[in-house]
Structure 1
Amino acid sequence: MLPQNDWLNITATIVPTSFGLQSFLFSLEIIVAVAVIFFLWTINRFTKPLHKFTKAAERLGVDLHSEPLPIYGPVAVRATATAMNKMQERIQDLIQARTQMLAAISHDLRTPITRLKLRTQYLDEGELQQKIIKDLDEMEAMISETLAFAREDSRSEQRVNLDIVSMLASLCEDFADTGQDVQYIGPQTRVLINGGSVSLRRVFTNVIDNACKYAGSVTVDLHAEGDEVHILFDDNGPGIANAQLDKVFMPFYRGEHSRSRETGGTGLGLATARDIIRAHGGDIRLSNRPSGGLRVTVVLPG
């Protein structure tokens, strides 16, 4: 230890850095910075097209009429996007051909059914005549639904800003006026969405009508989740087997409960509903409620 108030002086010589070393370090910093920038640019060049490609492919999986995939980016991404666009065109052509064939067959069946209905007037009035007329009416209804499904194109309908709360409340009142136990229990404040009023009203009417056939009561609720609007249709019916929850959206598929003469139906209602909702950028799904009954959830962009 140094005595109190004593000083210790240290002298050192600073060796100046050579100019060559300074230039080397500066050049190294520039090289590293350029390398980092180039690395980030390369990563972005590959990942950005892939990200957009993934989003576009997801849209294609929901809506076959979505915009074609953009053709840009690395060679591999451009080639894949081109192949996806060609596949989309082929699928659209295939569906269009199937739809035209379905519409033509359904249209041609109307004529013989009309003739048969006229000929039943010459039958003796009785139970047999009534059964034949009932069967012909059912066939005619099936053909009408098939034509409606084949010609369905809600994209051609003008989209407007509409109050979904007002539409749902009005529909529930209409069903209640006919003696059905249908209630709207959602919010009363306006919730605006952009969509086709005719096609959406058709979807909601079909969902409520189906629920009324198989259940004693139906409630309709609505709530917003982020930028989406969720509409819940709950009934107290028997529900649907879990294995059939996805199958009921297939055209012409009918579960066990809908095969009876009393309920009728062609199995096209939910298929058409899904097409309309997906054309609006949303989706529709079914689930069995833990307390019993079926829940139909319609999700639409807010």
Structure 2
Amino acid sequence: MATRRQPPTVRLRRLAGELRSLRQASGLTREDAAAQTNINSATLYRIETAKARPQRRTLLTLLDKYGVGDPERRAALVELSKQATQLGWLQAYESELPEEYTTYISFESEARSVRNYESLFVPGLLQTQGYTRAVVTASLPHASDDEVQKRVETRTQRQAFITRDDPLKLSAIVDEAVLHRKVGGAEVMAGQLRHLLDLTERPHITLQVLPYKVGAHPGMHGAFAVMDFPDVVDPELVYIENMAGALYLEKEADIRRYAEMFDQLRSAALNVADSRKFLDRLIDSEGEGRRK
């Protein structure tokens, strides 16, 4: 059985960036550094791309080579390395979930804000348990009851990010089709719509509806999320998911492109107040339909 890869975390990504910058400041290519430290070049590549955490001996060897002599700087990087693979509550679910999902959650848990466009689902952070259960059951038809429950519990744990003392700021845009699709049936969906309306009263959560009348728009290729982080040394990150897997984009040009795309969608969508009115009308119409 293949060894499960350690999901990258914000700290691991930060350590990778620090070591990459130190090497470049030393005027060394990755091949130079590998040859002069006897560290395998493939290992060094994995360290610099946040795919692996360096062992303490490897880290100290690199710091020596890059001329990092300041004791406080060395101690800070060693401590960062120690913390780089800590997954907190997610540790209990790691073996049950796909690597790309645990990776996303590890980043989301430390993000300052998320800009999320969804074309098919209610954003995960805003889902009710009934909605989540229906989505997981439909998308994973061969999953056991225990596996489904683990997914539901994980999503519920994630939602603590938007209710903690220093909550994650969420800006969400959903296609109108998301709100009409009766995931889990009429009763589950009615509860989901009411939940969305309640959540929009929180100052750190904005929800906008992208109506059908907009026609063609920049988000037609699919859902995406743009995350940014409290520490300025941690660059923004774009997350894209499809049936083939997950993709993380870190290049400045890609981040700028998706940020601009989100702004275009935000301009095309109903504003926050009108989106609330849209939800109100939809809830009322669904209620009327059930009473007939």
Which TM bucket (shorter chain)? under 0.3
Greater Rg over alpha carbons, structure: 1
Question: With structure 2 as the length reference, what TM-score do the two structures score?
Answer: 0.23
Question: With structure 1 as the length reference, what TM-score do the two structures score?
Answer: 0.23
Larger RCO of the pair (alpha carbons < 8 Å, separation 6+): 2
